[in-house]
């Protein structure tokens, strides 16, 4: 597969940024220095980066509460993401959302949802307006294996197919929904076969291999637009992180974790670098730069002002023009 040098640089930069960022989040979660629940995505880096490397900043996505990696890969500003997690006024949503609700419409990030499967109908709406208005932006919704049991996923999938909407349903099958392993909650052998219920095309890929994720997504975007149809993508990986920071993860067998580490997406991407003529010196340089950038983002966030309590009701209610009001 041909990937130009700029894209390769971007891919490695984002992979390391997400991993370093989430490792730092794990530390601050232990110190309890930020408000609210934190959900890290260690193990999902290749899916976040592989999918986003096939999209542009203009394309629409939705994320879940496990959203830091999606936001970073969608090119949202690192300092603003970090400030948001700290609840500060310079955060991406002015500190009103916190970790679980990072959104940035300018980067096509339509929202991160704590409610499982809340994203698919929202992205369906964005994709529908693209179709109605003759737009060319692609739309992709990220959700987990657990989300396929939620009616909102099925409603969005059914309508997307019925209305011939080009969009991607991207399922991160990380082996767990909270403390329940996928083979305890899934009654089809392969998760991607859920798409058959809607006569929807589906593909499956190795979610630990950023280049495979990139290629499958790139091809799916072309096919989805050419055929005017939604496509379901299942990427398999492993949830190294707990359901939330503080989760003891006792339900994840130690042998299973050790086995999964052999396919860690960061390790795999470093091993594959030589196939793309990317040297170990280049990798080390990116790691150094990225670690500095992550540290700077946390230093920045820690010193930012809190939002004013008086502003709490700003941007909550719509200001309708007077003529619309009775
Ligand atoms: C509608 C709804 N039902 C239940 C929950 C509680 N809940 C939070 S996370 C989760 C599991 C979701 O698992 P999955 O979709 O596989 O995502 P992952 O955490 O693995 O990324 C559940 C059931 C919720 N947040 N929303
Ligand atoms: Mg899951």
Q: Using CA atoms, how far apart are residues 287 and 43, in angstroms rounded to an integer? A: 17
Residue 145 in any domain: the answer is: yes
Is 74 near ligand 1, meaning CB less than 6 Å away?
no
Nearest ligand to the CA of 241 is 1
| d(CA 147, ligand 1 centre) in Å | 6
Residue 320 in any domain: the answer is: no
Q: Which residue has the higher pLDDT, 294 or 188?
A: 294
Residue 325 in any domain: the answer is: no
Residue 101 in any domain: the answer is: yes
Residue 132 in any domain: the answer is: yes
Any alpha helices (H) in the chain, and if so which ranges?
Answer: 5-31, 45-52, 68-73, 78-85, 119-132, 151-162, 182-185, 210-227, 254-261, 265-272, 280-302
Residue 172 in any domain: the answer is: yes
pLDDT category, 219, cuts 50, 70, 90?
very high
Query: Cβ(84)–Cβ(130) under 8 Å?
Result: no
Is 114 near ligand 1, meaning CB less than 6 Å away?
yes
CATH number of the domain that residue 119 is part of: 3.40.50.970
Residue 270 in any domain: the answer is: yes
pLDDT for 326 equals 66
Q: Which residue lies with its CA nearest to atom 4 of ligand 1?
A: 116
pLDDT reading at 20 higher than 80 = yes
CA count, 13 A, side-chain hemisphere, 108: 22
Q: Which domain holds residue 232?
A: 5-302
pTM of the model: 0.96
pLDDT reading at 132 higher than 90 = yes
Residue 308 in any domain: the answer is: no
**pLDDT, mean over the chain:** 96
Chain position carrying tokens 């299973």: 256
The number of folded domains in the chain is 1
């Amino acid at each position: 597969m041909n990937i130009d040098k700029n894209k390769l640089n971007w891919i490695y930069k984002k992979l390391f940024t997400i991993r370093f960022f989430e490792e730092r989040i794990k530390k601050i979660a232990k110190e309890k220095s930020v408000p609210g629940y934190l959900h890290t995505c260690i193990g999902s880096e290749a899916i976040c980066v592989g999918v986003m490397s096939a999209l542009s900043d203009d394309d629409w996505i939705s994320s879940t509460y496990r959203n830091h990696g999606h936001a970073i890969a969608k090119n949202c500003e690192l300092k603003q993401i970090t400030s948001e997690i700290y609840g500060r006024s310079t955060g991406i949503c002015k500190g009103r959302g916190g970790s679980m609700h990072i959104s940035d419409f300018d980067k096509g990030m339509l929202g991160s949802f704590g409610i499982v499967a809340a994203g698919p109908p929202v992205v369906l709406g964005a994709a529908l307006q693209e179709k109605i208005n003759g737009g060319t932006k692609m739309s992709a919704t990220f959700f987990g294996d657990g989300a396929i049991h939620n009616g909102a996923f099925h409603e969005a999938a059914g309508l997307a197919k019925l209305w011939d909407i080009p969009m991607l349903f991207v399922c991160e099958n990380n082996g767990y929904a909270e403390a329940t392993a996928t083979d305890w909650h899934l009654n089809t052998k392969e998760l991607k076969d859920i798409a058959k219920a809607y006569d929807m095309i589906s593909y499956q890929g190795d979610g630990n291999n950023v280049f495979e994720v990139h290629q499958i997504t790139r091809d799916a975007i072309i096919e989805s637009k050419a055929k005017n149809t939604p496509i379901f993508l299942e990427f398999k990986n492993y949830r190294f992180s707990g359901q939330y920071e503080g989760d003891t993860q006792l339900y994840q067998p130690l042998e299973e974790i050790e086995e999964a580490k052999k396919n860690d997406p960061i390790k795999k991407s470093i091993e594959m670098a030589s196939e793309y003529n990317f040297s170990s010196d280049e990798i080390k340089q990116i790691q150094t730069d990225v670690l500095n950038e992550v540290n700077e983002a946390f230093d920045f966030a820690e010193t930012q002002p809190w939002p004013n309590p008086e502003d709490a009701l700003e941007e909550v209610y719509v200001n309708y023009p007077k003529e619309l009001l009775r």
